[in-house]
A and B are shown apart, each in its own frame.
Chain A
Amino acid sequence: MPLKGKLTLVTGSGRGIGRAIALKLASQGSDIIVNFFRRREAAEKTAKDIEALGVKAEVIRANVGDPAKLNEMFDTIATKFGHLDILINNAASGVGRSVLDVDIKAWDWTMNINARAFLLCAQRAAKLMEGRGGKMVSITSLGSSFVLPSYAVVGISKAALEALTRYLAIELAPKGICVNAVAASAVETEALKFYIREGLMKDIRQATPAGRMVIPEDVANVVAFLCSEEAFMIRGQTVVVDGGTSVAPFITVEKEERR
């Protein structure tokens, strides 16, 4: 139980990758604050599943894109617990449009939830980690460095998130806080199934060198490592979890060759 007695906040952890991370860290002994925005039932189910692992779970609703709501969430954490050990910045939203169709509303919405929220969460979390150190891990995507269809504003927000990760890692290093990010390629979640169904993305299961798509648990495993003491010397990095796709852009993998 490497995380026994720790307290973790996972933003957007009612479903998808956030849920998998919450369950993984709970299985390592951490109590979990499950933050959600619109799907209360999903968040409460995640909290129940966390408690079944023998740790505590607290559900807090907050739109992390709204500074007032984000601050209320941290006020609750501060009064109820008085500290925080791990911050997982996972919540994300976005508008699937080409660059020329991105209006101010879509830009602000996406940047506020995906990038600014980490700035504000990190500022509040750093205070709650004072004198005890901590870990911060953000979830980003290959869209920060590569061009994905209808992904412009999300990709841009993720690039900002990764830059913020580097700056925070250095500024928070003297406080014993490790800051890193995990970048996944397409992960099999509801969001992705939507993209494939709508024809916004090709079904890439066949094209992953590792032979299958990344699943939420693959991301959660790397997050758990970055939250462990073994990862102490990793700072400001974005670790890619993509089954090899990004380093082999010119290779089409045949099913038989993979085995």
Chain B
Amino acid sequence: MSVEEEMKEIVAQIVHVDKSVLTREGSLRKDIKADSLDIVQAMVAVEDKFDIEIPDEEAQKFQNFGDFINYVERRVAEKEKV
């Protein structure tokens, strides 16, 4: 499974939505009505899954789900290089 697919599974499970509503353009907060607890739990679950750290300072820059996916993909790729 790709990073994107895995992230969709994690988020769908935490926010209780169908994976199909999760798009790269959509905002977790505005479009699928995730609250702040959902978001922090999704961050933590993604961190645990890929063994990376997503500091709040970075997360605050995400405008939509796509930014979140791009960040994680980049971090995973960096890790694989090492």
Q: How many A-B residue pairs have CB under 8 A?
A: 24
Q: Which of A40, A41, A63, A106 contacts B37 (CB 8 A)?
A: A106
- Whether B53 pairs with A63 at a CB distance below 8 angstroms is no
Describe B's contact surface by its main secondary structure.
Answer: helix
Q: Is the CB of B44 within 8 A of A95?
A: no
Query: Contact at A39–B56, with CB atoms within 8 Å?
Result: yes
- Chain B residues touching A, range: 10 to 19
Query: What are the interface flags for A55-71 relative to B under an 8 Å C-beta threshold, 1 for contact and 0 otherwise?
Result: 00000010100100000
Determine if A38 is an interface residue (Cβ-Cβ < 8 Å). yes
> Is A41's CB under 8 angstroms from B44's CB?
no
Q: Which of A38, A63, A95 contacts B55 (CB 8 A)?
A: A38
Interface residue? A105 (CB, 8 A):
yes
Interface: A109 (CB within 8 A): yes
Q: How far is the CB of B59 from chain A (nearest CB, A)?
A: 8
Interface string of B32-55 (1 = CB under 8 A from A): 000111001101100000000101
Q: Which residues of A contact B (CB under 8 A)?
A: 38-41, 61, 63, 66, 95, 105-106, 109
Complex A-B: 10 CB contacts under 8 Å: A38-B43, A39-B55, A39-B56, A41-B55, A61-B53, A63-B44, A95-B35, A95-B36, A95-B37, A109-B37
Q: Please give me the 4 A-B residue pairs with the lowest Cβ-Cβ distance, nearest first.
A: A38-B56, A40-B55, A39-B56, A41-B57
